[in-house]
A and B are shown apart, each in its own frame.
Chain A
Amino acid sequence: MSLPLLFKVLLTRKVVTILLLLQLAITLALLLNSVLLAQQTHQQLNQPTGLDLEETLLVQIKPTTPQLRAYPLLEDLLERQLNALRNIPGVVAAAYSNQGMLLQGGNNGNVYNVDDEERSNTSSVPIYFVSADYFKVLGVDVLQGRLPQQSSLFTKESFPSVVLTQSLAEHLFPEQSAVGRQLNRGSVSAVISDFYGQRNGENVMYNSIQVTRPFSVDWGYTLLLRTSPGQTSAVRQQLTTVLQQVEPNIEIFHIRSLAEQQQQLYRNEYGLATLLTILSALMLVVTMISSYSSTHFQVLKRQQEIGIKRALGASKRLIFIELLSEGWLCTLIGTLLGIGCALLLNHGLSQVISLPSLNWWLPLLTGAILLFSVTLAIWYPATIATRVSPATATKAL
C-alpha cells in the first residue's frame, strides 16, 4: 500500500484522524515521562549507600519515663541493652547512636576546619554520637588514622575526637590528610568510607561521628545491629522480647533493616512512579480500545470498498496489511507528535517534581511499545476485514 494513498485515506476522515493522533501523542508523552520517573526512582533505590542494607538492623527506641532519659540511668540502660543484643545468636555487633542513617533529616549542624572557616563551613552535616562498636556494625573501611576505642565525654576543655566520612574529609581538607586536624567539633582521629546519612544534607555522604554518649534522648535513640548472613530474620523476631526484658519502660517506634529504611526514604518517589506507571498502562489500554473499536467500525463501514479491492485482485494478506498500515501510519505520526508533547510534559512536570530530561532512545522504546499495542488492538478487526468476500462488490446498493 502506498504512502500517499494511506495519507489520503486518513485525510478523508479528518476529525477522527485528528482525535486519534492527539490521543496517541498524549499517550506517548505520558508513557515516556512515566518510564523516566520509574527509571529515576529505580536508580535512587539502587544507588550505593556504603552500607550493608540487608544485614544491618535498626531499632528506633525511647525510654518512657523521664528518669530513664537522664544520666546516669540512661547510661546503664544503654549498657544493658547492648549486652542483651550481643547475646542474641546471630548478632555480630551491636551499637547505639543518637540517630539512624538513610534519613530525610535529623540531628545536624555546622562543621568547619578552624584554620579555614570561611571556605570550609559546611552546614546540615549529620552529627552522630555513638558507641565504640558503631563502626563494626556498619562495616565501614578505615581509610586514615585510627578509630577511637572508647567512649569519651564532652567537657569544657575537650571534645571527643571526630571521625569523618571520606567525602567530608576531602571537602574540609582538600589535598591533605585530615587526621590530627582541628574542627569546630573536635580533632579528627580517623577517616572512614562514605555512607548515606541524611537526604537533606549538603551531600548525603557527609557525616561527622563522635564516640560518646548521646546528648539527649528526648527524640529517642537508635540501636544498630549487624547480623551474620542469613540470620537477620531470626534475630529480628527476638528483638522486641529481648529489649522488653531488659527494660519494659521503653517505646519501640520501629524495627527496620537498612533496606527497608531506604525504601521508606524514597517512599513518595516510589509511590508517584507507581501511580504514573499504572496511569500509563490505563492510557495504553484506553488507546487500544479506541483503536480496536475504530478499526472495527471502519471495516464494517467499508465492506463494499474491501470487496471491490478483493475483486480487483487484492489478496487477503494485502487487505490485512493495508489495514495494519493505516494503524501504523497513525501511530508513527502520533509518536512524532507525541515526542513534542513529551518534551512539554517533561518541562511541566519538572516544575513540581524532580524528573530527568528526555534522552534519545526512550522515544524509540516507547514508540515501539505504542506500535505493538496498537497492532495488537487492530489485529482482530483487520482479520475480519480479510473475511469480506469479493462477491460483496457485486451486491447492488
Chain B
Amino acid sequence: MITLTNLSKIFRTELIETHALREVNLQVNEGEFVALTGPSGSGKSTLLNILGTLEGFDSGDYLLDGQSVKGLSDSALSQLRNEKIGFIFQSFNLIKDFSIYDNIELPLRYRGLKAAERKQRIEQALELVGLHARRDYLPAQLSGGQQQRVAIARAIAGQPRILLADEPTGNLDSLMARQVMELLEKINQQGCTILMVTHDPDQARRAARNIQIVDGQLHDSTLYEPLAAHSA
C-alpha cells in the first residue's frame, strides 16, 4: 500500500538545518492499522504530512498504492489526495460556516461526483458515525467528540485507500476518545488502512502495529502487544 524508500526531509532556515526525517524506510500493507509514536519534535507530524502528500520531501521515494508521487503535478497530487487519502486532524478542522452535510460533501465535490451519488455517500458516512440526525447543524453546535466524528465521516465518505489520523483524540475527554477509537477500529475492520499518530500509549496498544520515530528515524517496534479486545 505504502512504500517509503530512503526518504529524507530537511528543514532549512537561514541559520539552521534540521533533518526531520533521515533516510526513512517503511512498508505498510493494505488493511493494516499502524500507530506512530514518538517524543515531541521527533518528526511524526512531518512523516504524516509527507504520507498525505501535504508536504514534499527532499530525497528518496514514496510509492502510494503502487504509484510514485515524485514529480507529480499539483493537480495530479490533488487528485491523488482527494481519491486515495482521508485525513483526521487533532483540531477537527471543519469549516465553521458550513453545515455538517456541506462539510462532508466538500471532498466529494472536488471529485466531481454527481449530486445523487454524493448524497448517497454522505448519508452512508453519517450513518456510520451515528450523526444522521444532525446533518444540518453547524460545527459550533456540536460537542468535540461529535465534531471529530463528522471529520471521520468526511474522511471516509470518499472511500479512501488510507486514513491518516493526527492525534485524533487529542482534544477529547476519555469517553469521547473511546468512541472515536472504536469508530476507527470499525473502519479498519472494513478494510481501510489506517496510520495514526498518537501520544497515548493505550491508544497505541490498540493498533496492530507500532512504529516509533526518534530523531527522524523509524523503529518498527512491537513493544506493545496488540490487545485482542477491550472492555466497552
Contact = CB atoms under 8 A, between A and B. Distances in A.
Instruction: Tell me, yes or no, whether A and B come into direct contact in the complex with CB atoms closer than 8 A.
Output: yes
A181 interface: no
Contacts of A9: 97
Interface residues of A, number: 26
Nearest to B48: A394
A85 B107 CA distance: 86
B79 A391 contact: no
The B contact surface, by secondary structure, is helix
B106 A312 contact: yes
Given A12-B97, A389-B54, A309 B74 contact: no
A213 B166 CA distance: 104
Contact of B54 (A1, A394, A397): A394
Contacts of B102: 5, 8
A323 to B, nearest CB: 15
Question: B interface, how many residues as a size bin?
Answer: 20 to 34
Interface in A275-320: 304-305, 308-318
Contacts of A304: 93
A259 B109 CA distance: 63
Nearest to B170: A396
A313 B54 contact: no
B110 A311 contact: no
Nearest to A305: B95
Interface in B57-108: 74-75, 78-79, 81-83, 85, 87, 89-91, 93, 95, 97-98, 102, 106-107
Nearest to A2: B109
Interface string A55-89: 00000000000000000000000000000000000
Contacts of A310: 54, 78
A311 B81 contact: yes
Contact of B82 (A2, A5, A312, A396): A312
B200 interface: no
A394 B106 contact: no
A5 B95 CA distance: 12
A6 to B, nearest CB: 12
Contacts of B55: 389-391
B45 interface: yes
Given A8-B98, A389-B54, A393-B54, A312 B49 contact: no
B186 interface: no
A312 B97 contact: no
B110 A314 contact: yes
25 contacts: A8-B102, A12-B97, A308-B95, A309-B106, A309-B110, A310-B54, A311-B52, A311-B54, A312-B87, A312-B107, A312-B110, A313-B78, A313-B81, A313-B82, A313-B83, A313-B107, A313-B111, A314-B78, A314-B82, A316-B78, A317-B75, A390-B53, A393-B89, A393-B93, A394-B54
Interface of B: 45, 48-49, 52-55, 74-75, 78-79, 81-83, 85, 87, 89-91, 93, 95, 97-98, 102, 106-107, 109-111, 154, 166
Interface of A: 1-2, 5, 8-9, 12, 304-305, 308-318, 389-391, 393-394, 396-397
